[in-house]
Amino acid sequence: MINYFIKHETKNIISLPPSIGDIKKSSRILFAIFTRYGDTIINLMVIREFIECYPEKEYLILCPKQMRPYVNEFLPNIECISVNKRNIFEMFKVVRLLKKRAFNIGFNPWSNGLDSCYFISYCNNFFFYKDFQKPDIINHYQVVRRYLNLPEKSWLINELILKDNYKKILICPQSSDFNRSISTKQLDKLIMDFQKIYKQTEITIASMDKSHFRDDCRQFLFEKKGYSSQKFIDLIKKAELVICPDSGPLHIAIALEKDLLAIMRETLPETVINSGSCLKINNY
């Protein structure tokens, strides 16, 4: 029912991209972020750049409940409201707030769903991400910069030299794309190799799929819930080395500036890794 309502409310709305002048003149800006984990972290990192460019404005971020811990972690001073679009009472409260506060500009980066379009349509000026034309191959962070009218950055990374000793290693083998995930064979080899290199290391495997768990490693079952997101943030902060493919944890580890070994099976690093990041890339 709610999906039908949102589709009906947004079907005839046409968005127009706010200019840099519009952004400079605005006082209140809304971001509606309803997308996957990795894309959410990309958004937050670029929104942080946006806020640094325009620090004197009032900001609000709308997101699902499982994403709020990430907003609080990376943008702790920015107001955030988590929304369950299937809860009609929550929807009513958010819409009433948006009408009352009259945000000047609305953005919904990397959010192709109509729920984010619906929320930003209450702003005076808004630009639906689904209407944004982007090249087929471009760095994901650059996409958001271009969408938000921010200066683009030349892509470069700093090569990480692994340390002689890591006491805590976190492996996140799963990606939303199966072909990008670390295979069972790769995972077993990674565990065996690092147990040989670092004799006293503690290895934790974090995944939504229990088939990735191993008896000789600690386990973290990741769930799409707010408390699970917070526990994962705490877990990755304690890790000394993070190993993962092209996935949400990759972007979280980059944002937290952790030592990172990225296993790239099919992804071009220059399309997904933020410029200036320090990590080691391996096809393994």
Summarize pLDDT for 33-67 with one digit per residue, the tens: 999 999 999 999 999 999 999 999 999 999 999 99
Predicted confidence at residue 284, as pLDDT, reads 66
For residue 157, give both structure tokens: 């990374």
State the pLDDT confidence band at 86, using cuts at 50, 70 and 90.
confident
Average pLDDT, the chain: 95
Report the distance separating Cα 61 and Cα 65, nearest Å.
12
Q: Model-level pTM?
A: 0.95
**Domains parsed from the chain with CATH numbers:** 2-147 (3.40.50), 158-282 (3.40.50.2000)
* 89-100 per-position pLDDT tens digit: 999 999 999 999
* 140-181 per-position pLDDT tens digit: 999 999 999 999 999 999 999 999 999 999 999 999 999 999
> What is the edge-to-edge ordering of all strands in the sheet holding 158-159?
158-159, 278-282, 259-263, 241-244, 168-171, 202-207, 218-221
